[in-house]
Amino acid sequence: ARATPELPAADYAIKFRTLAVQSGWNDTALLAVFREGLHLALQAEMACPNTNSTLSDCISTAVCLDNLRHLHYVSTRPRLQYRRTNRGLRSHRGSHQTHATQEGVSLRGVILLRRTRSPGVPMPRKTIEISENKAMDDYIKEALAAGHIRPSTSPAAAGFFFMGKKDGGLRPCINYSGLNAITVRYSYPLPLVPAALEQLQGASIFIKLDLLRAYDLVRIREGGEWKTAFHTTRGHYEYLVMPYGLTSVPAVFQSLINEIFKDLLNHFVIAYIDDILIYCSSLKEHIQHVRTVLTRLKEYKLYIKLEK
DSSP letters of the chain?
A: ----SSS-HHHHHHHHHHHHHHH---HHHHHHHHHHHS-HHHHHH-----TT--HHHHHHHHHHHHHHHHHHHHHTSSPPPPP-----PPPTTSSS-----TTS---TT-EE-S-S--TTS----PPPPGGGHHHHHHHHHHHHHHTSEEE---S--EEEEEEE-TTS-EEEEEE-HHHHHTEEPP-PPPPPHHHHHHHTTT--EEEEEEBSSGGGGSBPPTT-GGGG-EEETTEEEEESBPPTT-TTHHHHHHHHHHHHTTTTBTTTEEEETTEEEEEES-HHHHHHHHHHHHHHHHHTT--B-TT-
Question: Would 206 be classed as within a structural domain?
Answer: yes
Question: Would 3 be classed as within a structural domain?
Answer: no
275 in the same domain as 225: no
Q: Which of 75, 98, 129 is a domain's end point?
A: 75
237 in the same domain as 163: yes
Which range marks the domain in which residue 36 is found?
9-75
- Domain count for the chain, please give it: 3
150 in the same domain as 268: no
134 in the same domain as 243: yes
237 in the same domain as 117: yes
Q: How confident is the model at residue 69 (pLDDT cuts 50, 70, 90)?
A: low
116 in the same domain as 57: no
130 in the same domain as 60: no
120 in the same domain as 167: yes
What integer pLDDT is reported at residue 7 of this predicted model?
A: 66
Question: Would 104 be classed as within a structural domain?
Answer: no
User: What does the pLDDT look like over 229-239, one tens digit per residue?
Assistant: 999 888 999 99
Distance CA 278, CA 129 (A): 41
Q: Which of 75, 91, 119 is a domain's end point?
A: 75
262 in the same domain as 242: no
User: What does the pLDDT look like over 210-228, one tens digit per residue?
Assistant: 998 877 878 888 888 999 9
Question: Would 44 be classed as within a structural domain?
Answer: yes
255 in the same domain as 243: no
169 in the same domain as 117: yes
Q: Which of 34-38, 153-157, 187-191, 298-302 has the lowest mean pLDDT?
A: 34-38
CATH number at residue 279: 3.30.70.270
Question: Would 96 be classed as within a structural domain?
Answer: no
Question: Would 151 be classed as within a structural domain?
Answer: yes
What integer pLDDT is reported at residue 90 of this predicted model?
A: 38
CATH number at residue 179: 3.10.10.10
Could you tell me if 292 and 224 are in contact, meaning their C-beta atoms sit under 8 angstroms apart? no
Centre a 10 Å sphere on the Cβ of residue 300 and count the other Cβ atoms it contains.
16
User: What does the pLDDT look like over 116-172, one tens digit per residue?
Assistant: 344 544 444 455 676 788 889 999 999 999 999 999 998 888 988 888 877 778 888
List, in sequence order, every residue forming a beta bridge with 295; answer none if it has no partner. none
Question: Would 276 be classed as within a structural domain?
Answer: yes
255-279 burial string, b = 16+ CB within 10 Å, else e? bbbeebbeebeeebbbbebbebbbb
**Average pLDDT of the residues in 169-195:** 85
32 in the same domain as 115: no
What integer pLDDT is reported at residue 31 of this predicted model?
A: 77
Question: Would 57 be classed as within a structural domain?
Answer: yes
